[in-house]
Amino acid sequence: MLMRWQRWNRKAKLWLWVITLIGVVAAMPLGISRMAMENSANTVEYVFDHRDIVEVAELRPNPKQFLNEKVDLLKESGITTMSVYESSLKELMQAGRLMYYNEKDAALLQGKLPNERVNYTYVLFNGPEEEEKIGPLIRDAYGRMQVPVRNWSFDGRNGLIIEESLTAALLKTFDFDPMTIEELTGKGFHILPRFSDRVVPYDAERTAAQLERLKSYGVTRVLFDGEKAKGVSDQSALHSLESFGELLKQYDIGLVAIENLKKPQQGINKLAYLTNYNVTRLYSLSPEDSIEMTKEGIVDRFLLAAKDRNIRMFFLNTMNQGSADTGLLNHSVDKLASAMTGSNGIVAQLDEAGFPSGLAQQFSYEKPSWEKPVRGIVALGAIAIITLLVSAFIPHVSILVFLLGLIGSAGLFVLNSSLMEQALALGAAVSGPTLALIWVMNRIYSRTIGERRMVGGEEWTVGNGGQEAETRTQWVFPSVSIGRRIGIALNWFIVATCISLTAVPLVFGLLNNITYSLVLEQFRGVSVLHLGPIALVALYILLYEGNEGRGVMGRAAKLLRQPILVSWILIAAVVGAIGFYYLSRTGNSGSVSWIELIIRNWLESTFGVRPRFKEFMLGHPPLLLGLFLAIRYRAAWVLIIVGAIGQLTMVSTFTHIHTPLYISIVRTLLGLGAGLIIGAIFIAAWIVLEGAWRKWLAPMIRKYSA
Q: How confident is the model at residue 555 (pLDDT cuts 50, 70, 90)?
A: low
Determine what percent of the chain is predicted with pLDDT higher than 70: 85
44 pLDDT higher than 90 = yes
Backbone angles phi, psi at 648, to 5 degrees: -70, -30
568 pLDDT higher than 80 = no
pLDDT at position 596, please? 59
Q: How confident is the model at residue 505 (pLDDT cuts 50, 70, 90)?
A: very high
Query: What are the residue ranges of helices labelled H in 39-127?
Result: 50-58, 63-77, 89-94, 103-109
**Least-confidence region, from 256-260, 407-411, 451-455, 556-560:** 451-455
pLDDT at position 242, please? 95
How buried is residue 161: exposed, middle or buried, by Cβ count under 10 Å (0-12/13-18/19+)?
A: middle
Cα dihedral sign, 200-203-204-205: negative
> What amino acid is encoded at 151 in this protein?
N
Query: Closest Cα partner for 628 from 472, 459, 440?
Result: 440
Report in angstroms the alpha-carbon separations of 474 from 323, 459, 489, 630.
69, 8, 21, 13
461 pLDDT higher than 50 = no
Distance CA 282, CA 416 (A): 29
SS3 (DSSP) at 447: helix
> What amino acid is encoded at 254 in this protein?
G
Q: H or E stretch including 2?
A: helix 2-38
**pLDDT tens readout for residues 188-218:** 999 999 999 998 899 999 999 999 999 999 9
Report in angstroms the alpha-carbon separations of 473 from 109, 392, 633.
96, 25, 12
pLDDT at position 452, please? 43
pLDDT at position 547, please? 47
- Report, as an integer, the average pLDDT of 649-655: 93
pLDDT at position 618, please? 82
CB 471 within 8 A of CB 452: no
462 pLDDT higher than 70 = no
**Least-confidence region, from 32-41, 51-60, 347-356, 450-459:** 450-459
**pLDDT tens readout for residues 238-290:** 999 999 999 999 999 999 999 988 888 999 999 999 999 999 999 999 999 99
Q: CA angle at residue 234 from 229 to 235, to 5 degrees?
A: 75
Q: How confident is the model at residue 115 (pLDDT cuts 50, 70, 90)?
A: confident
362 pLDDT higher than 50 = yes
Query: Closest Cα partner for 674 from 612, 632, 581?
Result: 612
pLDDT at position 553, please? 64
SS3 (DSSP) at 223: strand
β 467-472/460-464 pair status: antiparallel
Report in angstroms the alpha-carbon separations of 339 from 78, 313, 335.
10, 16, 6
- Please tell me whether the peptide bond between 201 and the residue prior to it is cis, using omega within 30 degrees of 0: yes
**pLDDT tens readout for residues 570-591:** 666 665 665 555 555 554 444 4
**Least-confidence region, from 171-185, 194-208, 305-319, 690-704:** 690-704
459 pLDDT higher than 70 = no
358 pLDDT higher than 90 = yes
C-alpha 508: how far from chain center:
15
CB 123 within 8 A of CB 99: yes
- Report, as an integer, the average pLDDT of 100-107: 94
pLDDT at position 590, please? 46
Distance CA 416, CA 410 (A): 10
Helix axes 637-653, 482-501, angle to 10 degrees: 40
Please give the model's pTM, rounded to 2 decimal places.
0.85
β 45-49/313-316 pair status: parallel
537 pLDDT higher than 50 = yes
pLDDT at position 609, please? 74
Q: How confident is the model at residue 631 (pLDDT cuts 50, 70, 90)?
A: confident
Determine what percent of the chain is predicted with pLDDT higher than 90: 62
pLDDT at position 602, please? 67
User: Residue 477 CB: number of other CB atoms within 10 A?
Assistant: 15
Distance CA 71, CA 81 (A): 11
- Report, as an integer, the average pLDDT of 175-181: 95
pLDDT at position 152, please? 94
Residue 501: strand pairing partners: none
pLDDT at position 575, please? 59
Report in angstroms the alpha-carbon separations of 174 from 61, 83, 230.
28, 16, 14
Q: H or E stretch including 158?
A: strand 157-162
CB 525 within 8 A of CB 462: no
**pLDDT tens readout for residues 378-397:** 999 999 999 999 998 888 88
Q: How confident is the model at residue 34 (pLDDT cuts 50, 70, 90)?
A: very high
CB 331 within 8 A of CB 56: yes
User: Residue 706 CB: number of other CB atoms within 10 A?
Assistant: 5
CB 502 within 8 A of CB 385: yes
Q: CA angle at residue 192 from 182 to 296, to 5 degrees?
A: 115
Distance CA 366, CA 379 (A): 21
Structural domains in the chain, CATH included, are 2-38+366-458+472-705 (no CATH), 87-174 (3.30.70)
**pLDDT tens readout for residues 396-427:** 888 899 999 999 999 999 899 899 999 999 99
CB 177 within 8 A of CB 134: yes
Cα dihedral sign, 77-78-83-89: positive
**pLDDT tens readout for residues 427-439:** 999 999 999 999 9
Classify residue 44 by its DSSP letter.
B
pLDDT at position 560, please? 64
Which of 413 and 569 is assigned the larger pLDDT?
413
The chain-wide mean pLDDT, for the chain, equals: 86
